Amino acid sequence: MAIHEKSLIRPENISSHEKKIVDGIDVSGDWSTFIHTRVVTDYNENLEEEIAALPGGEYIHRCWQCGSCTNSCTVNAENPDFNPRYWIYLIRVGMEEELLRDKDIIWQCVSCNKCTSACPRDVFPEGVMKATAHWMELKGHTPPSHSTIFDDVFTEQVIKHGKIEDGEVLKDFLLKTKQPLMQDWIVQMVKQMIKGFPVMSLMKMGWATIFHPKTKNWARASDAIKEHIAEEHAAQRKALGLDSAE
Ligand code: SF4
Ligand code: SF4
């Protein structure tokens, strides 16, 4: 018997025999095609809760699968395999193995938030994409993405100085992602800044990059932020069933 929509079934979940006789009856080819049934152990029943425990994933339970996020998605327009609606579906039913098949593209969300504007249920799909990428990193399925490294560098600066120095953030990001400090686009950007920025602003930026001025009385605020981040990370790791040590 031919299986309709066979292309939707993973090849490893299909068994068939070119030549098979059962009780004297020839059941070769399509007649001996079997689809392996799913069992409960195929699912991660906590997957939705794990994603919901990470920043951005909180409202995933509201999704009613209308597909407006995927229809409006910037990346989906370039790559039809990038499908937020589908991934939200997989997460909600706990199909972790299927989700992991797309682990190399989920992080490619460009945070344009078109999906967030289009979503009729306030799911915040952009946040769900971020939470899913973060979940993959925490579970060790993918290395930290450039986006995560940038967030870390940015946060480090806030904790240390209580303010952001763009040049410092860029330098730390390039070093941590093993990229050369001198790249064509950086040279062009610096040239444009020298041409277009007031001299005083440039001097202030240069001074701040070298001396790292701190926000006044920043130490206590810095400690409070560090404590809060440590608590959040511990709670997230607990929700994901990981040890609480950072
Ligand atoms: S934020 Fe991400 S998922 Fe949403 S539309 Fe933009 S690229 Fe697509
Ligand atoms: S637009 Fe919102 S409700 Fe519709 S599928 Fe996407 S996340 Fe779900």
Q: What is the pLDDT of residues 24-43, one digit of tens each?
A: 888 887 777 888 887 777 79
Does position 126 have pLDDT exceeding 80, yes or no?
yes
The pTM assigned to this predicted structure is 0.79
Beta bridge partners of 22: 25
Q: How far apart are CA 212 and CA 164, in angstroms?
A: 9
Q: Which is more confidently placed, 54 or 209?
A: 54
Report the candidate in 72, 164, 167, 189 with the shortest Cα–Cα distance to residue 125.
72
Report the nearest atom of ligand 2 relative to the CA of 65: 5
165 in Cβ contact with 209 (< 8 Å): yes
pLDDT score at 44: 93
- For atom 8 of ligand 2, which residue has the closest CA? 63
Taking the centre of ligand 1 as the mean of its atom positions, its distance from the CA of residue 231, in whole angstroms, is: 29
Report the 10 Å Cβ neighbour count for 77: 12
pLDDT in tens, 160-174: 888 888 888 889 999
What average pLDDT is seen over the chain?
A: 89
How confident is the model over 230-235, as a mean pLDDT?
94
Q: In this structure, which ligand is nearest to the CA of 122?
A: 2
pLDDT score at 209: 77
Domain residue limits, the chain: 6-37, 47-138, 146-215
Does position 212 have pLDDT exceeding 70, yes or no?
yes
What percent of the chain shows pLDDT beyond 90?
Answer: 58
The preferred substitution site among 58, 88, 89, 93 for testing ligand 2, maximizing ligand atoms within 8 Å of CB, is 88
- For atom 5 of ligand 1, which residue has the closest CA? 73
pLDDT score at 3: 65
Does position 53 have pLDDT exceeding 90, yes or no?
yes
72 in Cβ contact with 114 (< 8 Å): yes
Residues with CB under 6 A from ligand 2: 63-69, 85, 88, 118-121, 123, 125
Pick the CATH number of 47-138 from 3.40.50.150, 3.30.465.10, 1.10.1060.10, 3.30.390.30: 1.10.1060.10
Report the nearest atom of ligand 1 relative to the CA of 110: 7
74 in Cβ contact with 118 (< 8 Å): no
Q: What is the DSSP string of 32-88?
A: EEEEPPP-GGGS-TTHHHHHHTSTT-TTGGG-----HHHHH-HHHHH-TT--HHHHH
